[in-house]
Structure 1
Amino acid sequence: MNGYVASSWHEILGNFEHYLRFEKGASENTIAAYIHNVRQYVEFVQANGIAAFDAITEQHVTAFLHRLAQIGLSERSIARYLSALRQFHTFAIAYELASVNPTELLESPSVQRTLPVVLTVEEVTRLLEGVQTNTPHGIRDRTVLEVLYGCGLRVSELCGLRLSDIAFDQSLVRVRGKGAKERFVPIGEVALGWIHRYVHDAYPLLRSPHHHPTTLLLSNRGRSLNRMAVWLIVQSAARTAGLETHVTPHTLRHCFATHLVEAGADLRAVQEMLGHADISTTQIYTHLDRLYLREVHQRFHPRW
């Protein structure tokens, strides 16, 4: 199978997509991003007259990444491209399309991790309690916010929740995360209470006889709530609360993690709740905690 010609790149991309979906269990968002990135890579390879996997060298990969830098892509974006290329060449070796991996010795660009925007506990309280809950939509919106902050979920994870995922008696939520990986996240009494109220007082009124979604959270038309709808709910709540900070659904995930770490939660426990495969991803919240400690010390220590 080694030595595919350029006319077969389309077939290779199709097999790569199958590999990501069924063998790696990647999320649809990851699959779409990887295929997009690798398709551009393949176009670059073809433009350079390369017709077989084993003809691709480390220099070709480096040249492609350099081209991305030239057109203005950030180091973070280039690192994502390189991650996609690593998977692509790993797939090629696994399927005996190639015998060498030209990305094996390449280092990812040094990415300066940006500290996320985090609200104070008081600001989060204003955000949550500012929602009017005298309508089914208001009850749903409050439930969305409480679960985002109470469990630290990604938007896609929230939108995919089913009623059967809520273990009321154990105060746990089953979450389907990146790569179709499942985890159980604790949920507090307040968020559970809002889910209970939503299920009994709002869900029956939001349901539509024309749609039968399996998800817990429904849109105004009775369909499954989508990412954009959640974004709009958060934006509306932020405006109502008078928050000047740019608030997104992911902001509440950051708040969840940061407030736990600031209160003394074990980093590995927070890692597990967030669904991070690598603890270095979670360690960004310890940087926030150090800044917070310095602020407290500066404010209250007599020798500062």
Structure 2
Amino acid sequence: MNIFLKEYLATLKIEKNLSENTINSYKSDLTSFLNFISQSGVDDLSDIKADQIASFFKLLKDAGLNETSAARYFSSLKGFFKYLFRNGYIKSNPIERIQPPKISRKLPEVLNVREINSILDQPDVKDTIGLRDKAILEVFYACGTRISELINIKLNDLFLSEEVIRVFGKGSKERLIPIGSSAIKWVEEYLQKSRPLLAKNYKSENYLFLNQRGTKFSRMGIWKIVNHYARQAGIEKSVHPHTFRHSFATHLIEGGADLRAVQEMLGHSDISTTQIYTHIDRDYIKLVHKKYHPRG
């Protein structure tokens, strides 16, 4: 069974160009399942039955696994069995008889425009670090990038005269995102006055945003910056880098942006992922109606 698993993971890497982290997640999920099946006395993939898969998910639930993680396991198993069936390694696909775990979709917390502006106003732009932080926050809000995308932006990914930046999203998929005039202004200031003082020759590897050691930021490093300025602005909501991404999408849709355009900017492969922001928009519309309609 492990031979088929290795073959499947190799296929994911070559054909789908998935990141190492994603492939390791698949490997971990599928290894857990295969270990469970082996302990049940099954040593042939063709002998796996739907009720054994159901038992595996019951075990996960009893162990306290949350809905999101259970859904990830299901996705991993579904892809694996689909691959096995398509290639003739099994005669029937047992997971087709299993209902996927239901996820209660929670609306992401967002900041309003006033709260965003309050955070953006916090960094001391006369200071080397403050100017860098200002540029980071401006790019987050202007472009709605994921944290992994932001920390990996390089100097040759900037096309500021064309008002776009290039990022590499999930599966190393490349996309161009518009960047507004305010963010361009602060990125250019940072490039002129701050980055040269932070750069450490070969250590900086052409990355746009550098920490105080002159190297690429870690995810935690960016999280600390966002959290620091949110607290300094007196924001009581839980604010993290993804909050800027949620706020970016919500404010675009509230302003009347086309859903497909927002999907493209966010780098969502499926528009259903983007549609969660239309629910936020509906809540906003209800509030406006209640506040301004004579019979609200």
TM range, smaller chain: over 0.9
Change (3 A) 1:28 1:145: farther
Instruction: Measure the CA separation in 1 of the matches of 2:97 and 2:103.
Output: 18
- Aligned residue for 1:184, secondary structure, equals strand
Q: Displacement, 1:100?
A: 3.2
Look up the SS of the partner of 2:177 in the other structure: strand
Name the stretch that deviates more: 249-258 or 125-134. 125-134
Deviations along 1:29-58, whole A, 9 cap, x unmatched?
A: 322222221121111111111111111122
How many Å separate the matches in 2 of 1:209 and 1:182? Answer: 27
Partner of 1:37: 29
Which sections of structure 1, spanning at least 5 residues, go unmatched? none
Q: 2:221 aligns with which of 226, 229, 245?
A: 229
Paired residue for 1:189, among 178, 181, 186?
A: 181
Bigger drift between 201-210 and 151-160 goes to: 201-210
1:51 aligns with 2:43: yes
Tell me the alpha carbon deviations over residues 96-155 of structure 1, each in whole angstroms, 9 at most, x when there is no partner.
Answer: 543433223433222121000001100000011111122222111111111111101001
Kept after mapping to 2: 8 A contact 1:131/1:240: no
The aligned counterpart of 1:133 is: 125
Of residues 170, 177, 200, the one that matches 1:208 is 200
Contact 2:57-2:70 within 8 A present in 1 as well: yes
The residue correspondences of 1:87-236 to structure 2 (distance < 5 A) are 87-93=79-85, 97-209=89-201, 211-236=203-228
- Candidates 61, 66, 72, aligned match of 1:74: 66
Over the aligned positions, Cα root-mean-square deviation in angstroms equals 1.7
In the alignment, does 2:8 pair up with 1:16?
Answer: yes
Partner of residue 280 from structure 1, selected from 266, 272, 281: 272
Q: Secondary structure at the match of 1:115?
A: coil
**Is 1:19–1:91's contact at 8 Å kept on the other side of the alignment?**
no
CA deviation profile, 1:214-268 (whole Å, cap 9, x unmatched): 3211111011112111111101111111111010000000000000000111111
Which of 28, 39, 50 is residue 20 of structure 2 equivalent to?
A: 28
| Range 204-213 or range 152-161, more displaced | 204-213
Q: CA offset at residue 93 of structure 1?
A: 4.0
Matched, 1:63 2:55: yes
Tell me, what secondary structure is at the counterpart of 2:94? Answer: coil
- The Cα of 1:94 is off from its aligned counterpart by 5.3
* Distance change in 2, residues 1:120/1:217 (3 Å): same
Rounded Cα–Cα distance in structure 2 between residues aligned with 1:287 and 1:198:
37
Aligned to 1:263: 255
Taking a change above 3 Å as real, the CA distance of residues 131 and 75 of structure 1, as seen in their structure-2 partners, is: same
Letter in 2 for 1:143: A
Q: TM-score, normalised by structure 1?
A: 0.92
Does residue 294 of structure 2 align to residue 296 of structure 1? no
The answer on whether the counterparts of 2:164 and 2:176 sit within 8 Å (CA) in structure 1 is: yes
1:143–1:191 contact (8 Å) kept in structure 2: yes
1:20 is displaced (CA, Å) by 2.3
SS in 2 for 1:169: helix
Rate the CA distance shift 1:198–1:97 in 2: closer, same or farther, 3 A. farther
Q: Deviations over 1:175-194 (max 9, x none)?
A: 11111111111110111111
Identity of aligned residues (%): 43
Q: Is the CA contact 1:17–1:35 (under 8 Å) kept in the aligned structure 2? A: yes
